[in-house]
Amino acid sequence: MKAKAPQTRKSNARLWWIVHQWVGLKLSILMSFVLLTGTIAVFGHEIDWVMNADIRINPSTVGREIDWPLMANSVADYAPDDAILSLSAPVGKGFAATAIVTPPEGGRRRIYVHPTTGEIRGEAGGHNAQGILRWIHRSLIMPTKIGVPIVSSLSVLLAISLATSFVVYKKWWRGFFKPVRLRNMRTFFGDFHRLAGLWSLWFTLLMILTGLWYLVESLGGDAPRPPRLWRTGVEMTAQESAAALPSMLKAAQDANPALRIRHIDFANKGSGAFNFSGQHEAVLVRSRANVVWVTAETGKVDLVTDGRDMNFHQRISEMADPLHFGNFGGVWTKIIWFVFGVVMTFLSVSGVAIYALRLLKAEHSPPTAKNFTAVFLRGVSFYVWPTLGLVVLSFILLIRALI
């Protein structure tokens, strides 16, 4: 019996290697696509800033305080026939604030406003790069009930891949400072794959945990939403909304002077209250966790919510997005998340490269693009069709949504 123990351990190690390889190879097309779009989505707002000159403003012209009433008046003068739905603070230095309005014929458009002078910078349609990237990454443009479970279920595969890597990579804790050898392509990809995997352990685990949480939410385990004020909807013109804002804003600031307002939803057909949301003292929560609700008809504060009052379930839900996209610390955390997102995407791609190069060496075939593709398709086998199909479908649905 003792003589068979080494053979048994070898068989077990082989099994774990097969599992690790299967998880990384069969769904690699979809996995790489989701990782790549999520990585790019980290800088979705910055991509919009680069693509659209209307969003860009000189930071030196921005005062310390946002002039919400002035912005509302500017939007009302610029689009008098539209209804103002919301105003959002700039996402960073050098960014304009954003107003969402709806024309009489329906639909939505964005109006970019200087946050302290009220200057109208320009406008755009309802879609932007940030929204599209998040949409693709979150649900592949499919209905939420279908797309979110598909994407978030990849976190299960990531968890399996991470767990098996500790078995496959013997004495992994010694590899943090091993140099990457440049002897040949297979050696390079193998060494870099292991090194990148080790240094990104914390990030991979974070993506697994947040991804699993999104899966739980999509299957009915979502946390209760924060309390909200239900009031009969009202119809207000842009001018009426702008005229009412100063008194509503004062009431909200009196109710919670420490609230750093980042977003204002105006009273409209769906809600008869203004709500002022932002950041207070709760850590890693979205602005919706701290809200002051002011009823439009009376001008009175009828509800104040505080992120610190949330239960454990709700706090997990609120933390998921900031931790998943790294936007809680401004541009510096975004850079860190982007870099490690690139690393994770490379891990997915390099795993495929290691598999293909290993087989090509065993078959004594040169590592040409044609041979590489043939080996890869042979390894993915049937799974190439559903995974590639989902990627192609997401682009088809995106085109339909934009037309």
Angle value at C-alpha 334, between 223 and 91, nearest 5 degrees: 80
Query: pTM to 2 decimals?
Result: 0.90
What does the pLDDT read at residue 10? 62
More confident residue, 55 or 355: 55
Residue 14, pLDDT above cutoff 80:
no
**pLDDT tens by residue, 92-126:** 999 999 999 999 888 899 999 999 999 999 999 87
Residue 73, pLDDT above cutoff 70:
yes
What does the pLDDT read at residue 9? 62
Residue 337, pLDDT above cutoff 80:
yes
For residues 222 and 272, give the distance between their C-alpha atoms in angstroms, rounded to a whole number: 27
What does the pLDDT read at residue 1? 43
CATH topology of domain 57-127: SHC Adaptor Protein (3.30.505)
What does the pLDDT read at residue 8? 66
What does the pLDDT read at residue 184? 81
Domain spans in the chain, listed from the N-terminal domain onward: 2-44+131-223+325-402, 57-127, 225-310
Phi-psi region of 82 (alpha: psi -120 to 50; beta: other; left: phi over 0): beta
What does the pLDDT read at residue 11? 66
Provide mean pLDDT across the span 308-324: 93
More confident residue, 137 or 375: 137
For the chain, give the longest Cα–Cα distance: 87
Token pair, residue 240, equals 């009426």
Residue 20: band (very low, low, confident or very high) from pLDDT cuts 50, 70, 90 = confident
Least confident range of 1-5, 101-105, 215-219, 377-381 = 1-5
Residues above pLDDT 70, as percent of the chain = 97
For residues 317 and 228, give the distance between their C-alpha atoms in angstroms, rounded to a whole number: 17
What does the pLDDT read at residue 6? 60
Provide mean pLDDT across the span 165-190: 85
Query: How would you class 349 by CB atoms within 10 Å of its CB: exposed for 0-12, middle for 13-18, buried for 19 or more?
Result: middle
